[in-house]
Structure 1
Amino acid sequence: MAGRVTISDIAKAAGVSKTTISRYLNGNYGYMSAETRARIEEIIKKYNYVPNSIARTLKSKKSGMIGVIVNTLRYQVGAQTVTGINDICTKNGYGTIVHCTNGDRRAEETAVQLCLNQQVEGFIIIPCENSVAPYLEICERGIPVVICTRRLDDWPYGCVYVRHDELIQKMLLHLKEQGFEKVRFLLDVHDFHKEAMAGFFSAASAELFGMSREESIRWVGRESPAVCEALDALLHEYPGQSKAVMAVNTHTLFLTLRELERRRIRIPHELGVCGYDVIGWSELVYPGISAIRQPMDRMGIIAAEKMMESLREQRPTQGACALEGSLFFRNSTNLKAL
């Protein structure tokens, strides 16, 4: 065939109507024999036919795209969650449009509108704020939404999140059993999600170590000076008592370890160290860093599966799925072995 191959050309070569080809392209095989489906597939491959997606979108009002809006891609949790989402969407014939808001509410609003302009069929969102109002507005348009890695108060539709309260409680219990007497939580960004994590840590540290929230929580931002100041304060407080620090996310842990190395602080002799969302290198860094790990790929996979179910059944997304993370206890908190 000379020039651009059209749907009429494919229909003629396959010996079927354009309607049948259209049904095939839209995944509607209900009235199609296996032989006809195989013949159409063979002709499409033979002529390397690519559907005009813009025309199909305008006609069907279905873009075959899912909007994925994440609060950050700085860390592994965001990138690997998006990877899991994309894998499932691709397997089901959907593409993804990914926007990163960097935790900014206005950027999130812009990202939603851009996705709506592209006529996405659903949204998977790692939200910036705890309010469900903007996401309910999307659902009111008849577009399904899955909230991922967060659990929002009063959200009635599909969501996937991790039980941070249980993970933090188990890590602090481990520190208590190892003989640590004081603990401190270092967090980078003061947003609603990290605030919830701080609440879990504060409650557990009060129960296990008798510490107030002011004693156990430090907001250090993304720059090293604040991390240095937080560590300096902890190292000089509580003389004669064994202390440990938990650094949330890979970057904060890196800054913590770099500062302790600069000061020649022995781990765990002078300070116990554990991290959050640390993959791979934590077990290689001397003396081996104890860490909490979220099931990041799994979160994305389940979120996308909820979206696919919603689109197939033409209904809102359903169900909250709470995932359990993993804890790895290594020598950085192994005080009893000294």
Structure 2
Amino acid sequence: MRRITISDVAEHAGVSKSTVSQYLNKRYDYMGKKTKERIEHAVKELGYSPNIIARSLKQKSTMTIGVIVANILHVFSTQVIRAIEDFCNEKDFHVIICNADDDPEKEKRYIEMLQSKQVDGIIAFPTGGNVELYKALIEVQFPVVFMDRIIPWIEIDTVILDNEKASFLAVEEFLRKGYREIGMLSPPLRENVTSRMERINGFKKALDNKQITFNQNYLMVGEINNIQVVMKEMLEQDNPPDALLALNDRVLHEVLAFTKKHRMRLPEDLAVIGIDEVSYANIYSPALTTIQQPAFDMGKKAAELLLNRITNKENCMDPKIYRFEPKLNSRESC
């Protein structure tokens, strides 16, 4: 069958092609109600669907963006993606999701793939291993926004939590509940993973601010699949901590698995706070105290920044770092 064209719709509706084009691009503020109804009826009756490829070539836009996440298993990542997708859907943009697994080579391949698909911009949780590649994108004014991580050598719009404050909130909550021997568990520390480094620094500063001596033995790191082993070592010390801060949601999951396995009571045997709200926080027994990131607001902000750079390249402001406030959800595990 012959493909239905915009000319067919215009003829069927008794209007010009430009009027149909304005309707399809939602530029119809001054279009009469009856004209819009005739075009809508013609589109439905003829079964017309826009030629996306032809439109993208004409507009020099594919109406598509890429999102490269470091690890899609994190609750924060999935919530951010949902917020980005929701915002882009409202603006008629499509989203391609890529999971880099914190691997610079994988991230590089995704950047190149997204470029080959001619996406209009990229939101990335950068690994830190592709600085020159991102710099090259910025040189040609390709729209990019960073999420969750700051790369010091790149001036770019970045959306990130006030990570030090997140740790401050947790330490203050522990102290308010009477705990002073406070430990922290973290995945491996990497300079390019800003959130981890800042949360560790915030933890140390919060203790110092309260005149509590930082105990190096109370800060332990390990790969996620080894967190329970590390936790066991921490709690077998001569003077183990009586409170524990889990740096993110995946660490918290391992902490809870350990306490369940060893029949430890929260908070009687060990008080626990996790950074990142988790879906089961309210239904876990006891309910879990968490420090929540405003993930949906952060995702929406990243999408707003990117689409603004896509549609207003000549009028964009200088790149900025946008910090979002964490929130304490005080429950029963502390």
Indicate whether the TM-score tops 0.5: yes
Structure 2 match to 1:64: 63
**One of 20, 25, 31 as aligned partner of 1:33:** 31
**One of 183, 205, 208 as aligned partner of 2:207:** 205
**Contiguous gaps of at least 5 residues in structure 1:** 334-338
Residue 198 of structure 2 aligns with an amino acid whose one-letter code is A
Corresponding position: 1:248 with 2:274: no
Structure 2 match to 1:235: 235
TM superposition shift of 1:16: 3.4
TM superposition shift of 1:169: 0.7
Q: How does 1:81-120 map to 2 (within 5 A)?
A: 81-120=80-119
Task: Answer whether contact 2:123 2:144 (CA < 8 A) is retained.
Answer: yes
Structure 2 match to 1:330: 331
Task: Answer whether contact 2:64 2:94 (CA < 8 A) is retained.
Answer: yes
State percent identity of aligned pairs: 26
Change beyond 3 A, Cα 1:151–1:278: same
Change beyond 3 A, Cα 1:37–1:321: farther
Task: Answer whether contact 1:131 1:152 (CA < 8 A) is retained.
Answer: no
In structure 2, what is the Cα distance between the partners aligned to 1:48 and 1:202? 63
Task: Answer whether contact 1:282 1:289 (CA < 8 A) is retained.
Answer: yes
In structure 2, what is the Cα distance between the partners aligned to 1:131 and 1:199? 25
Q: Tell me which moved more, 44-53 or 161-170.
A: 44-53
Q: Tell me which moved more, 107-116 or 184-193.
A: 184-193
In structure 2, what is the Cα distance between the partners aligned to 1:63 and 1:27? 17
- Secondary structure at the aligned position of 2:54 is classed as helix
TM superposition shift of 1:320: 3.0
TM superposition shift of 1:43: 2.2
**One of 223, 226, 229 as aligned partner of 1:221:** 223
Q: How does 1:39-58 map to 2 (within 5 A)?
A: 39-58=38-57
In structure 2, what is the Cα distance between the partners aligned to 1:91 and 1:29? 17
Residue 96 of structure 1 aligns with an amino acid whose one-letter code is V
Task: Answer whether contact 2:169 2:291 (CA < 8 A) is retained.
Answer: no
Q: Tell me which moved more, 293-302 or 150-159.
A: 150-159
Task: Answer whether contact 1:124 1:148 (CA < 8 A) is retained.
Answer: yes
Report Cα offsets for 1:1-38 as digits up to 9, x if no partner. x64312221122233343444454445558x7345455
Task: Answer whether contact 2:217 2:234 (CA < 8 A) is retained.
Answer: no
In structure 1, what is the Cα distance between the partners aligned to 2:184 and 2:156? 32
Structure 2 match to 1:336: none
Structure 2 match to 1:158: 157
- Secondary structure at the aligned position of 2:178 is classed as coil
Task: Answer whether contact 2:104 2:129 (CA < 8 A) is retained.
Answer: no
Task: Answer whether contact 2:266 2:333 (CA < 8 A) is retained.
Answer: yes
- Secondary structure at the aligned position of 2:333 is classed as helix
Residue 235 of structure 1 aligns with an amino acid whose one-letter code is L
- Secondary structure at the aligned position of 2:273 is classed as strand
**Contiguous gaps of at least 5 residues in structure 2:** none
Change beyond 3 A, Cα 1:202–1:129: farther
Report Cα offsets for 1:227-276 as digits up to 9, x if no partner. 2332222223253x762111133332122112112222222222111112
Change beyond 3 A, Cα 1:162–1:292: same
Task: Answer whether contact 1:81 1:300 (CA < 8 A) is retained.
Answer: yes
Change beyond 3 A, Cα 1:171–1:100: same
- Secondary structure at the aligned position of 2:109 is classed as helix
Residue 41 of structure 1 aligns with an amino acid whose one-letter code is E
TM superposition shift of 1:325: 1.8
Residue 270 of structure 2 aligns with an amino acid whose one-letter code is L
- Secondary structure at the aligned position of 1:73 is classed as coil
Q: Tell me which moved more, 168-177 or 72-81.
A: 168-177
TM superposition shift of 1:60: 3.2
Q: Tell me which moved more, 75-84 or 269-278.
A: 269-278
In structure 2, what is the Cα distance between the partners aligned to 1:145 and 1:198? 28
TM superposition shift of 1:92: 0.6
Aligned residues: 327
Structure 2 match to 1:299: 298
TM superposition shift of 1:73: 0.5
TM superposition shift of 1:319: 3.7
Residue 244 of structure 2 aligns with an amino acid whose one-letter code is V
